Amino acid sequence: MTTNLDLTDIQGNIIKAYGAYNFQKARYLFLRINNGDKGRQFVDAITAKVTTAIPWGKSENGDVAVEKPRVTTNIAFTYSGLEALELPTASLREFPDDFMMGMSKRKDILGDDGPSDPENWDKIWKEKVHIWISINAPDMDALIERYNWVAQQVEASDGGVTLLTGHRGGDDEENLPYQDASVLYDESGNPTPKEHFGYTDGIGDPVFEGQTNVAARVLGRGKLMRDGSWAPLATGEFLLGHVDEAMEYPKTAPSPMLLSRNGTYMVYRKLHENVAAFNRFLDEQSKSFSGSKEMLAAKFAGRWRDNGAPIVNAPDDASKDEWDKAFEAADFAGKKRMLTDFTYNNDLHGAKCPYSAHLRRINPRGSLEYGVKEAYETPGALVNRRRILRRGLPYGAVKDAARDDGNHGIIFMALNADIQRQFEFVQQQWINYANDFKEGNDKEILLGNHDTKHPSKAVLQVEPGSGKPPHFINNIPRLVETRGGDYFFIPSITALKLIAAGMVDPT
């Protein structure tokens, strides 16, 4: 089924990962609404500058295309934000429980315990957050110009909205009124696709019906079909008001339709990376590992750090050299294909890509069928309902690689039509638990909420009958800690206008 999306009605951050368009810098603002009328006026002012999903530059298929903007702006609301904007009760009560409760109250589901407990989050999360505004730009000048403009709108609201402070920044700054994020740069100052553990990130993002240029991007990113081909996922997995993989309209959409259609939910999470602990752990574990340190790092993530080669197709040091040569020789499309177009079908025992590797846990790509031939219509039926769009960028800088207490990590944003079914399921069942992978309660190596009191292990499997013993990784430290976040609703442009005008009418 082809869906023609109304890209003028959809916020741009849903369709585009701005980082992939050379928008290297981002700033996230969080605000509180103090007065319904003035709050709606503020939303009206911001809506005028909201970046839509209209394609930038020339479009191949005749879609309306506009010039690439110098800066983007997007807006979203928490449940209490929508209450403060005085949406009708009939609409409010139709939002899903997870969104109504917000992230901190879902901490037991998310595994946010110990250092990740909301008690330890940046101070801003003690505030009532109502609005999220994101600004993305290629450089700081454009970003600051738009930030100053938003600050003027806050000023003009005459106390109607407050820009909240309390973000932790570098140099022990605790009270910033914004969260900055940026791509990481190499020693020559060139932007890189790296995150702080040194992995290449931002390679695979789901492709769904109605997006532009689907044919060129769908390999390894859509849903796996019986014949081994890839098809775009149903739009309703990522946008409300559209049919999803169950051939239903998402049940998470409140009425009226004009409020929810073309909108979606966003999970915002500030994830601190314990870079020193990661490096120590990798050094320590590699002493007893039969391959190189880089191969072990690749086993943790499912991709090699230097160029993102999927370990399932480059499972050891020798095959990685071969993969690199083929990659070097490939053209642009070939390179993309080598990075994304793979399955775990030739690795059902996890001997190449371990079950506890980040990539395999997060998107098992059809491998959950476990040899039950044609149990479902598509081999990825169990996965297609758990996909998420990833947005966001790294934040902070590692100033002292021997310490974990700096301010550095990833601003992680997951977009999905159903937070509970998609993001929360992945976080709870696949990251912090492994029954689906027949690995008991082994947690995912990089992201699991490992706890020194109950030390975690992970198994690096080998081919059955190979005569080799599996490699056990023990005492995994907590490598990633949550430092804040919440659940947001990203409305369509139509819904923003209705909200701003106080005209949401569910009758």
Of 24-32, 33-41, 78-86, 196-204, the window that binds ligand HEM (rule: CB under 6 A) is 196-204
Dihedral angle sign, alpha carbons of residues 481, 306, 224, 371: negative
- Out of 278, 412, 437, 487, the only residue in the binding site for ligand HEM (CB under 6 A) is 412
Q: Which residues pair with 133 in a beta bridge?
A: 29, 75
Sequence letter at residue 28: Y
Closest contact distance (angstroms) between CB of 85 and ligand HEM is: 29
- Out of 116, 427, 482, 492, the only residue in the binding site for ligand HEM (CB under 6 A) is 427
Of 193-201, 234-242, 285-293, 374-382, the window that binds ligand HEM (rule: CB under 6 A) is 193-201
- 47 vs 449, beta carbon nearer ligand HEM: 449
Give yes or no for a contact between 125 and 104, defined as CB atoms under 8 angstroms apart: yes
User: Can you read off the two tokens belonging to residue 235?
Assistant: 């739009």
Contacts (CB under 6 A) with ligand HEM, residues 371-410: 388, 390, 409-410
- Out of 54, 176, 203, 462, the only residue in the binding site for ligand HEM (CB under 6 A) is 203
- Out of 180, 201, 245, 444, the only residue in the binding site for ligand HEM (CB under 6 A) is 201
- 49 vs 269, beta carbon nearer ligand HEM: 269
Interface pattern 442-481 for ligand HEM (x via CB under 6 A): ----xx--------------------------------x-
Sequence letter at residue 201: D
Distances (CA, A) of 157 to 31, 40, 153, 301: 12, 10, 6, 46
User: Can you read off the two tokens belonging to residue 234?
Assistant: 């149903």
Please tell me whether residue 411 binds ligand HEM under the rule CB under 6 A. Answer: no
Give yes or no for a contact between 76 and 132, defined as CB atoms under 8 angstroms apart: yes
CA-CA distance, 338 to 235, in Å (whole number)?
Answer: 25
Contacts (CB under 6 A) with ligand HEM, residues 7-66: none
- Out of 96, 118, 166, 204, the only residue in the binding site for ligand HEM (CB under 6 A) is 204
What DSSP string describes 468-483? PPPEEEES----EEEE
- 166 vs 380, beta carbon nearer ligand HEM: 380
Longest Cα pair distance anywhere in the chain, in angstroms?
Answer: 73
- Out of 273, 347, 369, 481, the only residue in the binding site for ligand HEM (CB under 6 A) is 273
- 160 vs 409, beta carbon nearer ligand HEM: 409
- 25 vs 483, beta carbon nearer ligand HEM: 483
Interface pattern 104-123 for ligand HEM (x via CB under 6 A): --------------------
Give yes or no for a contact between 261 and 241, defined as CB atoms under 8 angstroms apart: yes
Backbone angles phi, psi at 410, to 5 degrees: -125, 135
Closest contact distance (angstroms) between CB of 14 and ligand HEM is: 16
SS3 32: strand
- 314 vs 388, beta carbon nearer ligand HEM: 388
Sequence letter at residue 273: E
Backbone angles phi, psi at 179, to 5 degrees: -110, 115
Of 53-61, 200-208, 255-263, 466-474, the window that binds ligand HEM (rule: CB under 6 A) is 200-208
Dihedral angle sign, alpha carbons of residues 338, 343, 347, 350: positive
CA-CA distance, 255 to 253, in Å (whole number)?
Answer: 7
Closest contact distance (angstroms) between CB of 106 and ligand HEM is: 13
**Residue reference for tokens 């990481």:** 184
CA-CA distance, 429 to 258, in Å (whole number)?
Answer: 34
Please tell me whether residue 218 binds ligand HEM under the rule CB under 6 A. Answer: no
Give yes or no for a contact between 430 and 444, defined as CB atoms under 8 angstroms apart: yes
Please tell me whether residue 358 binds ligand HEM under the rule CB under 6 A. Answer: yes
CA dihedral 198, 199, 202, 205 (to 10 degrees): -160
Please tell me whether residue 195 binds ligand HEM under the rule CB under 6 A. Answer: yes
Distances (CA, A) of 105 to 23, 110, 112: 33, 10, 10
- Out of 23, 197, 208, 281, the only residue in the binding site for ligand HEM (CB under 6 A) is 197
User: Can you read off the two tokens belonging to residue 451?
Assistant: 């706890």
Interface pattern 289-328 for ligand HEM (x via CB under 6 A): ------------x-x----x--------------------
Dihedral angle sign, alpha carbons of residues 253, 258, 261, 266: negative
DSSP letter, residue 370: T
Of 53-61, 145-153, 422-430, 466-474, the window that binds ligand HEM (rule: CB under 6 A) is 422-430
Closest contact distance (angstroms) between CB of 189 and ligand HEM is: 22
Total residues binding ligand HEM (CB under 6 A): 28
- 63 vs 306, beta carbon nearer ligand HEM: 306
Instruction: Please give the residue ranges that form the binding site for ligand HEM (CB under 6 A).
Output: 195, 197, 199, 201-204, 271, 273, 301, 303, 308, 358-359, 362-363, 388, 390, 409-410, 412, 414, 423, 426-427, 446-447, 480
